Amino acid sequence: MTHPLPFPRARRVALSVATGAALALATVSPSQAAAKIQHLTSPGGIEAWFVQDATVPLIAMEYYFAGGSAQDPKDKSGVANLVGDLLDEGSGDLDSKTFHERLDRRAIELSFSASRDTFRGSLRMLRDNKDEAFDLLRSALTSPHFDTADVERIRAQVISGLRRETTNPSSLASRKFLEVAFGDHPYGRQTKGTLDSVPTITVADMKDYVGRVLAKDGLKIAVVGDVDPATLGKLLDHTFGSLPAKANLTPVADVEAAKPPQRAFVPLDVPQTVITFGGPGVKRSDPNFMAAYVVNHILGGGGLSSRLYREVREKRGLAYSVFESLLWMEHSAIFIGNTGTRADRAGDTIDALEKEVRRIAEEGPTQKELDEAKSYLKGSQMLALDTSSKLAQALLQYQQDKLPIDYIEKRNAIVDAVTLDDAKAAAKRLWGQGLLTVIVGRAPHTPAQPAPKLK
C-alpha cells in the first residue's frame, strides 16, 4: 500500500463511546472475504468492489476520485487539501454546525483527504443510519457551501500547521527531499500547500477543482458491511449518480526521481538532526515489484528485524529508530527512509546508512533473510485485513494499483515466487546508485543557539 508523504490531513467526527466500542468489533476474516468479493454494478452504472458481511451491523465505504493534489494549479498548491477540509463544512440546506450535528447524532464517520494522485473519501456508519449517511455524503460532494467564514477558519488552521512545520525537522526534510527528487513536477509540491500559496487560494479555485476532479469516470469504490447488493446499488446511485460523467484533468507526466548520489543540508537549530534518504523506486505495475517489496522489507521495512535497525541502532547506537519503505504513485516511484541522531553523530549515521545500502546492493540478501521476510509478509496480511474498514481500504488500494479482484487469494503465491536471484537483482536496482540524502539540523560541532526573542 502506498506510504503517503507527508500524510494527508483527515478530520473525523468523534464517535460516542458506546457506538465506538461496537464499531471496533467489526471484524472480517480475510480468507472468507477473498471468496466473497463481488464486482457490483449499480442500476445507474456505478461500480464497486463489495464484501457483504453481517457479522455486525456496520457499513464501511472507501472511495477515491483520480486527480489528487497533482491537479492543483502550479502556483496554488494546497487547493485539493483545502477542498478536503471544507466539503463537510456545510452543504445543501445545512450550514456547517447543522451538518456536523447530523453526523454526531447518528455517529457517522465522514472524512475527505487528498494524496498526490487521488482525492479520497471515507464513510462509516451503523446499518440503520445508512440512508442518512449516504445522503449527507451526496450533499457534501454535490453542493458544498464554501462559505467565507468556514473557508477562512479552515485556511487559518492550515496556515497555522504550515507555520509549525517550518520548525519541524522531519517536515522540512520531507519537503526538501521531494523538491530534490522531483523538482518542478507536481510530485515535488506539497499537498498541504505553502505559506505563500494557501493565502492566495480562492473559493473559485476550490469550485473549479470540484468541477474538474469529482466525476464518475475517475471514481473507484470499495464497500464492506451489512448491506445487500440491491440496496447498496441504490445508495451508490443516489450518492454519486448526479456527479459529472467525465473529469477534466490536467495531464501529469511520468517522472523518474533524481539520480543519486546527491546530498542537501537544511540548517535548523534543533537538538536532534533528522536525516531523510531515498532514491528512485519501482512502480507497482513493474513485474519485479514484489521482489523489490520483499528485499525492501529486509533492508528497512521490517522494524526491529531490519538490517538498517540492527546496524544503526543495535550495533552502533547512533539513532533510536530508522525505517525505510517503498512509495509508489501513478507516475513515479521512490524508496524513502528516515532517522534522527545528535548533530555530532550525523556524519557517522550517514556513513552507516550508506555502507549498509551499498552492501545489500552488492551482495543482496541471504536465503535465510529472504525466507524470513516471505514468512512475515504472508502472515502479516491476515492482521492487516482484520476489520471491515481495513479490508475496504485494501480493496480500494488494489483498484488503484490495477490489481485483479482476486488478488488477496493470489498474493501469497506471488510472494513465494520471489527467488534469491530476483531479490538480489531488485536490491542492485534499488540501491546500486547510492542515496539522495537530506540533512536537517545544526551543522556538526555547532553549539546550540538561544531561541530568538518574540517581537
pLDDT digits (tens, 9 = 90+) for 59-96: 999 999 999 999 999 999 999 999 999 999 999 999 99
Residues 450, 451, 454, 455, Cα dihedral to 10°: 50
d(C-alpha 78, C-alpha 154), whole Å: 12
d(C-alpha 272, C-alpha 381), whole Å: 35
Structure confidence at residue 5 as a pLDDT band (50, 70, 90): very low
**Same-domain status, 326 and 206:** no
2 lies in some domain: no
Structure confidence at residue 444 as a pLDDT band (50, 70, 90): low
Give me the CATH number covering residue 268: 3.30.830.10
Say whether 68 sits in a helix, a strand or coil: helix
**Same-domain status, 229 and 282:** no
Give me the residues paired with residue 52 across strands.
225
How confident is the model at residue 33, as a pLDDT?
55
Structure confidence at residue 303 as a pLDDT band (50, 70, 90): confident
**Same-domain status, 352 and 388:** yes
What H or E segment, with its residue span, contains residue 441?
strand 436-441
**Same-domain status, 290 and 229:** no
**Same-domain status, 177 and 267:** no
Structure confidence at residue 240 as a pLDDT band (50, 70, 90): very high
68 φ/ψ sector (left φ>0, alpha ψ -120 to 50, else beta): left
Structure confidence at residue 301 as a pLDDT band (50, 70, 90): confident
How confident is the model at residue 38, as a pLDDT?
96
pTM (predicted TM-score):
0.88
d(C-alpha 370, C-alpha 295), whole Å: 7
**Same-domain status, 285 and 232:** no
11 lies in some domain: no
**Same-domain status, 100 and 213:** yes
The residue range of the domain holding 360 is: 262-394+401-441
Give yes or no for residue 13 having a pLDDT over 60: no
* Strands laid side by side in the 436-441 sheet: 262-267, 436-441, 272-280, 333-342, 322-328
- ∠ CA 282-119-189, nearest 5°, is 60
**Same-domain status, 176 and 271:** no
Q: Which of 382, 405, 403, 390 is nearest to 38 (CA)?
A: 405
**Same-domain status, 315 and 173:** no
d(C-alpha 1, C-alpha 77), whole Å: 24
Number of domains the chain is built from = 2
Average pLDDT over residues 388-403: 95
pLDDT digits (tens, 9 = 90+) for 164-178: 999 999 999 999 999
How confident is the model at residue 451, as a pLDDT?
36
**Same-domain status, 232 and 331:** no
**Same-domain status, 219 and 120:** yes
Amino acid symbol at 258: A
pLDDT over 70 for what percent of the chain? 89
